[in-house]
Structure 1
Amino acid sequence: MDNIDKKIIQLTKEKTISGETLSSFFGISRTAIWKRIKKLEKLGYKFSHLKEGYKLILTSPYLLETEIKPFIKTRLIGKEYIFFEEIDSTNIYAKENNLNEGTVIVAETQTKGKGRKGRKWISTKGKGLYFSTVLKPEININQLLRFSLIFPYSVYETIKQENLTPKIKWPNDIYLSNRKVSGILMETDIEGSEIKKLVVGIGINVNHNIEDLNEIKDIATSLFLEKGQNIDRKRFFIRLLQNIEKNYFQFLENKLNPIEKVEENLLWKDEEVKILDGNKEIKGILKGLDNQGGIILQIGNNLESFYSGDLSLRKT
């Protein structure tokens, strides 16, 4: 969407404007104006087509730049905003392109969305949030696990603001009613001991119904299913981006310890769990997190820490 499209939206939102007036204003033909109106309608905008001209009667339900960016009160996250109606993966795009820090790439649907360990993420068009953020923090590699906890905590915060009671499944999932509602995938570009770029992909089931989650309905849920009503995706997304930025800068300024926040809201705390490490299975009582962000299991009389990677945490 270029500046002419954005201006057409702005002008027709205020009043009915004839094609002739728009044509004269932009210095293009009336046919070109009509084609732009049709293109905007394909993006979800609805216009009345009257003798007097065009009038915007309904904004797009999609997470377009014009629908999100003007309302983001951030200084970094989302200042550069890239929208796709469909893409293979926002994480792939972020990794393959030279993007500035804070750039947000959002898609209405992904054909190759993925979670941890290459698992597929179902991306129902217009129902969820599927986006990636590019970050370039000046942190030590040893801080990566601790740093990564910012993102499940930010999603947790935003969902809780919907009067729901989420829990954080270590290291990067959010659960409601013991079913997964969100997953986070952080991919790193490291040279030597220097972090060149981090790409944080987040997927959230927002307005999915049972049919949307049919294949995984026993293990997944959505905000809609838990709350019993549709969620305003735009408002939710804007709030989430603002929470991510707040927590990101507070972490860099040593004003936030995400380990404490995650531990307070940890799924299965003080319950028996198992860790799968390849063919190896380790059982214990989940006691919390250590000072690096790893989980602590009580195995017999001993406390042992485990760290993310190829590990999978499950309820016994």
Structure 2
Amino acid sequence: MDYTIQLDLNNGWKLRHIESIDSTNTELSRLCAIEDIPEGMVLSTNHQESGKGRLGRSWIDEPGDSLLFSILCRPGVPLDDYFYATMAMSISACEVLQDYGVVAEIKWPNDILVGGAKLSGMLSEVGESKSGRFMIIGMGINVNQDHSRLEVLKRNATSMAILTGNQLDLSMRLLLASRIVEAFAGRYLPMSQGDPAPKVQILRQYRSRCVTIGSFVRVELNDGESISGNVLDISNQGHLLVELDSCIRTVQAGDVHHVFRSS
């Protein structure tokens, strides 16, 4: 593959950029199947022809409108603890975006919102290769879209351009990606070594930024069931704790909708 740009990040990881691709997550998975890819390879693109989102959804973009990248991780923790990595990515993105004048919050499990509108989404996937188990975290951030482009999606979405009035060219988008990845590495690498202290810190930071905690939500579960209730907290396993009429329901996976009720 011909990479148009290759950057060495401060932590020794590498960012490779290509003009267009089907999906950065898919490409990293393909590379893992045919060669020994080191942890910390970051693949970014200007445009995904078949971008993927959570729950089988598609990520639709126009060239240059979004920041699109995926990172290869090989966590040194049990599979049940991989959720700390996605939490670390969400926290890191919010932290860096604040330096751009964007005050963002997290909707469980990993959407990034501003004023209730979606700014960013994430998709994590786990696979096996000859080198062992790996995890790929893909992130898409709406950067340069105006209102007309987002209205086509028929979703409540926003972009950095709408929020700040500024457009980011390719070099600025790659700088944003580099800053997010480096902030992520600062959280992820200590956690990946199995030390419990970084996990506690990640969970604390995630809870402080998670707007879903304390909200009334409707959750569409993977088996087709739908439940509604107040979110009490996020468990130490990363699950949603929803208060129903007679019990507390633990939600491991599902599509969460924040419900705004009139008082």
TM-score by length of 2: 0.85
2:60 corresponds to: 122
2:112 corresponds to: 174
Does 2:247 correspond to 1:302?
yes
- The letter for the 2-side match of 1:313 is V
- The letter for the 2-side match of 1:266 is C
1:288 corresponds to: 233
1:213 corresponds to: 150
Does 2:31 correspond to 1:94?
no
For residue 174 of structure 1, report the CA deviation from its aligned partner.
0.4
- Greater per-residue strand proportion: 2
Relative contact order higher in (CA < 8 Å, ≥ 6 apart): 2
2:190 corresponds to: 250
**In the superposition, relative to structure 1, how do residues 228 and 217 fare at CA in structure 2: closer, same or farther (>3 Å)?**
farther
Q: Which runs of 5+ in 1 are unaligned?
A: 3-62
TM-score by length of 1: 0.72
**In the superposition, relative to structure 1, how do residues 235 and 118 fare at CA in structure 2: closer, same or farther (>3 Å)?**
same
**After superposition, where does 1:34-49 map in structure 2 within 5 Å?**
none
Deviation by residue 1:125-175 (Cα, 9 ceiling, x = unmatched): 112111111111111012122332111112111112223221101111101
Deviation by residue 1:59-93 (Cα, 9 ceiling, x = unmatched): xxxx9525xx15x32223x2xx3322111111111
Deviation by residue 1:93-133 (Cα, 9 ceiling, x = unmatched): 10011322111111110100010012111222112111111
Whether contact under 8 Å (1:138, 1:195) holds in the other structure is no
For residue 211 of structure 1, report the CA deviation from its aligned partner.
2.6
1:315 to 229, 246, 258: 258
Aligned-residue sequence identity (percent) comes to 24
For residue 303 of structure 1, report the CA deviation from its aligned partner.
2.6
**After superposition, where does 1:60-209 map in structure 2 within 5 Å?**
64-65=4-5, 69=7, 72-76=9-13, 78=14, 81-98=15-32, 99-190=37-128, 196-209=133-146
Aligned length: 246
SS of the aligned residue for 1:74 comes to coil
* CA distance in 1 between partners of 2:123 and 2:4 (Å): 23
* CA distance in 2 between partners of 1:272 and 1:170 (Å): 13
Deviation by residue 1:256-293 (Cα, 9 ceiling, x = unmatched): 23221111111232121111114311111012211111
